[in-house]
C-alpha cells in the first residue's frame, strides 16, 4: 500500500478477502467496528479526503448530505443492487460517479426468497418455536398445525428482473405456475411459460403465493396495502425479500391477524434494524434480518465489484457497474 494507491473509506467492514485487497491495493483507514451512519461517514470523509466512498444502506446519502461531501470524493460505490438509499440524481448532478453491484447477488437473493416461500407456507417459524421451546410434549394430531403445500401452487411475482426471473426458475422445480407483473412484458424466452399481467390488480386474485422483487423508491406509497391485500385469495402467503417500503405493515398485520393471509415471509422491513414489534410478535411470520445476500461467496463478490469500480475510476477506465440515471 502506497500513498499513490486510490484513497477510499467504507461505511462497513467487508468480508475478509475484500479487506485483504483493500490493505494491498488501496489507501484506507481501518474498517469500522460497527456500521457507520451518515453523519459518521461524512465526518470520516472530511478527515480522510478519500477519492471513493464505499457504503451500504446503513449510511444513506440524500441531497443535503451530498452537498456536504468533500471535494476529494469522485465516486460513491454502494455494495448493493438497490439504490433507494442514494439520491442518484443529486450525486450525478454534482459530477460524482455512482456504482452498484448487480448480478453477483441474484442467486443468493433468489435462494432467500425460496426459503421464505417454503418457510411461510409450511409454518417453519411455528414448528421451530414449538420444538425449541420444549413445548412439543405430545404427537401432533392429524389436523393440527397444518401448513400449505408449495408444489403446484400459483406463484405471483411482482418485478421480473434478474432476481424475479431467478425465483421463477427455482419455482418451476416445485412445479409452480408462475404469474408475473412487471413494467414491461418479457420476451418469450425470458418468460419461459410465465403468464404476464399488465395490471397488478388482475394478477393478485390468481395468486396462492405472492413474492415481491421490485426496487423501492424513497417516498413512494407502498404497492402492497389494504386494498391490494384484499385482492389476494384468503389463505394466501406474502413474501417480501426486496424492500420494506413496498408493504404497508399495518395492513399486513391486520391481514395476518384476521387469517386473510395464512402467513408471510419477510427479509426486509419499513424500519430497520428495529422492525415493528407488533409484526415480529405474530406467530405466522417467518423473519430474517435483511440477509438475502449474506453468504461468504456473494458478499465477497459484491465487495470485490465495488473495489473494481474504485480501481477503474483511478485508472481512468469505464466503471464495470456504473449507475448513469
Q: What is the pLDDT of residues 256-290, one digit of tens each?
A: 999 999 999 999 999 999 999 999 999 999 999 99
Q: How far apart, in whole angstroms, are the C-alpha atoms of residue 172 and residue 161?
A: 17
Asked whether the predicted pLDDT for residue 1 surpasses 80, the reply is no
Mean pLDDT of the chain: 96
Tell me, what's the pLDDT at 220?
85
Q: What is the mean pLDDT of residues 96-105?
A: 96
Tell me, what's the pLDDT at 216?
80
| Cα diameter, the chain | 70
CA dist 36 to 21, 54, 55, Å?
21, 11, 9
pTM metric for this prediction: 0.91
Asked whether the predicted pLDDT for residue 219 surpasses 80, the reply is no
Sequence-distant (6+) residues with CB within 8 A of 314 are 6, 51
Residues belonging to the active site: 243, 272, 290
Q: What is the mean pLDDT of residues 197-215?
A: 97
**72-76 LR contacts (CB < 8 Å, sep 24+):** 72/7, 72/45, 73/45, 74/313, 75/51, 75/99, 75/309, 75/310, 75/313, 75/319, 76/52
Q: Which residue has 475484500 as its cell numbers?
A: 18
Asked whether the predicted pLDDT for residue 93 surpasses 80, the reply is yes
Asked whether the predicted pLDDT for residue 101 surpasses 90, the reply is yes
- The CATH code for residues 106-287 is 3.40.50.720
Q: What is the mean pLDDT of residues 224-237?
A: 98
Q: How far apart, in whole angstroms, are the C-alpha atoms of residue 158 and residue 214?
A: 6
Length of the chain: 325
Tell me, what's the pLDDT at 218?
66
Per-residue burial over 248-263, b if 16 or more Cβ lie within 10 Å, else e, is: bbebbbebbeeeebbb
Asked whether the predicted pLDDT for residue 2 surpasses 60, the reply is no
Q: Where are the domains of the chain?
A: 8-104+295-315, 106-287
Tell me, what's the pLDDT at 325?
85
Asked whether the predicted pLDDT for residue 186 surpasses 60, the reply is yes
Residues 65, 66, 69, 71, Cα dihedral to 10°? -160
> Which cell numbers hold the place of 54?
464505499
Q: Quickly state the pLDDT bin for 85 (edges 50, 70, 90).
A: very high
Considering the four listed CATH numbers 3.90.850.10, 3.30.1330.10, 3.40.50.720, 3.90.550.10, the one that applies to the domain covering 8-104+295-315 is: 3.40.50.720
Kindly report, residue by residue over 16-63, the tens digit of the pLDDT: 999 999 999 999 999 999 999 999 999 999 999 999 999 999 999 999
Amino acid at each position: 500500500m502506497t500513498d499513490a494507491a486510490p484513497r477510499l473509506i467504507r461505511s462497513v467492514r467487508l468480508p475478509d478477502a475484500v479487506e485483504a485487497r483493500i490493505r494491498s491495493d488501496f489507501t484506507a483507514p481501518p474498517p469500522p467496528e460497527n456500521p457507520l451512519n451518515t453523519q459518521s461517514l461524512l465526518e470520516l470523509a472530511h478527515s480522510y479526503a478519500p477519492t471513493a466512498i464505499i457504503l451500504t444502506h446503513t449510511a444513506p446519502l440524500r441531497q443535503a448530505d451530498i452537498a456536504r461531501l468533500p471535494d476529494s470524493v469522485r465516486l460513491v460505490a454502494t455494495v448493493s443492487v438497490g439504490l433507494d438509499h442514494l439520491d442518484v440524481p443529486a450525486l450525478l448532478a454534482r459530477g460524482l460517479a455512482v456504482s452498484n453491484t448487480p448480478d453477483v447477488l441474484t442467486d443468493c437473493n433468489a435462494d432467500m426468497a425460496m426459503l421464505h416461500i417454503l418457510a411461510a407456507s409450511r409454518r417453519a417459524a411455528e414448528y421451530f418455536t414449538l420444538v425449541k421451546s420444549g413445548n412439543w410434549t405430545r404427537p401432533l394430531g392429524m389436523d393440527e398445525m397444518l401448513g400449505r403445500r408449495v408444489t403446484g401452487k400459483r406463484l405471483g411475482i411482482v418485478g421480473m428482473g434478474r432476481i424475479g426471473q431467478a425465483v421463477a426458475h427455482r419455482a418451476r422445480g416445485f412445479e409452480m405456475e408462475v404469474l408475473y407483473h412487471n413494467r414491461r412484458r418479457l420476451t418469450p424466452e425470458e418468460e419461459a411459460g410465465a403468464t404476464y399481467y399488465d395490471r397488478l390488480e388482475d394478477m393478485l386474485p390468481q395468486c396462492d403465493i405472492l413474492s415481491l422483487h421490485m426496487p423501492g423508491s424513497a417516498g413512494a406509497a407502498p404497492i402492497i396495502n389494504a386494498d391490494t391485500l384484499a385482492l389476494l385469495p384468503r389463505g394466501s402467503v406474502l413474501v417480501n425479500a426486496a424492500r420494506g417500503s413496498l408493504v404497508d405493515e399495518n395492513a399486513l398485520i391486520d391481514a395476518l391477524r384476521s387469517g386473510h393471509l395464512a402467513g408471510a415471509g419477510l427479509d426486509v422491513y419499513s424500519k430497520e434494524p428495529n422492525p415493528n414489534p407488533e409484526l415480529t410478535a405474530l406467530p405466522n411470520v417467518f423473519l430474517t434480518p435483511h440477509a438475502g445476500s449474506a453468504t461468504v461467496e456473494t458478499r465477497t463478490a459484491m465487495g470485490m465489484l465495488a473495489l473494481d469500480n474504485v480501481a477503474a475510476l483511478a485508472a481512468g477506465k469505464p466503471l464495470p457497474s456504473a449507475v448513469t440515471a
